[in-house]
């Protein structure tokens, strides 16, 4: 007598059926089994390129040669980038310059004319004129020029004659090598003055 067949037999499931369903129950000799779909293989890791660093330049911003509105006649050698509208009214000139090479050459050499207020922060040469303006020579500035302004305040070095129609002030630590002509002169202790002084007459004839 042939052996009795089991009531339940394991049936093979086609591969495409398993792939189409995430969970399939298959009957086997020991009972139903749950076949779980295996996760897809992870993709290979790719190296992320490092961000490109911006190229560094040797330009370094520093204090401009002059600060204020002025008219300049002469030659100027600029090492750097200039932005702004040159020669326009109420324009702004920004200069990004290389560090000084210590040659001692003036950064501006010519005739400089202004109206209200001009501050010199660098090294200039030539002539500076203003009928009613105030000239300020900063502590680190060097002016090798003849100056003819209404008011001149010197905190740096001036090599040349100064004419102050109203007054001239020489601050402590300043150096003036030249003649001074003005109606009012103030030389603070610690200043160096090498030259002659001449007092101008008032417009009303009082002096």
Tens of pLDDT along 10-60?
555 555 544 444 455 555 555 555 555 555 556 555 566 666 666 665 555
Cα–Cα distances in Å, from 120 out to 86, 108, 123? Answer: 19, 11, 8
117-133 per-residue burial string, b: 16 or more CB within 10 A, e: under 16 = ebbbbbbbbbbbbbeeb
9 vs 193, more confident: 193
Residue that the structure tokens 């002659």 belong to: 196
pLDDT digits (tens, 9 = 90+) for 101-152: 556 788 888 899 998 899 999 899 999 999 999 999 999 999 999 999 999 9
Average pLDDT of every residue of the chain: 75
pLDDT bracket for residue 61 (50, 70, 90): low
Give the Cα-Cα-Cα angle 47, 48, 49 (nearest 5 degrees).
Answer: 110
Backbone angles phi, psi at 15, to 5 degrees: -60, -35
Strand, helix or coil at 120? strand
């Amino acid at each position: 007598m042939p052996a009795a067949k089991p009531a339940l037999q394991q049936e093979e499931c086609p591969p495409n059926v398993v792939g189409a369903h995430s969970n399939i129950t298959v009957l086997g000799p020991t009972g139903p089994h749950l076949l779980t779909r295996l996760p897809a293989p992870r993709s290979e890791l790719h190296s992320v390129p490092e961000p490109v660093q911006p190229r560094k330049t040797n330009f370094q911003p520093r204090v401009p040669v002059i600060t204020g509105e002025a008219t300049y006649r002469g030659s100027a050698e600029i090492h750097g980038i200039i932005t702004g509208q040159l020669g326009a009214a109420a324009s702004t000139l920004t200069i990004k310059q290389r560090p000084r090479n210590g040659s001692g050459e003036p950064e501006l050499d010519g005739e400089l004319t202004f109206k209200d207020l001009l501050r010199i922060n660098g090294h200039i040469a030539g002539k500076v004129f203003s009928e009613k303006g105030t000239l300020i020579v900063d502590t680190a500035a060097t002016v090798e020029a003849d100056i003819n302004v209404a008011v001149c305040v010197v905190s740096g070095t001036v090599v040349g004659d100064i004419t102050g129609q109203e007054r001239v002030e020489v601050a402590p630590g300043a150096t003036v090598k030249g003649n001074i002509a003005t109606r009012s002169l103030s030389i603070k202790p610690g200043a160096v003055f090498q030259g002659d002084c001449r007092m101008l007459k008032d417009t009303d004839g009082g002096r």
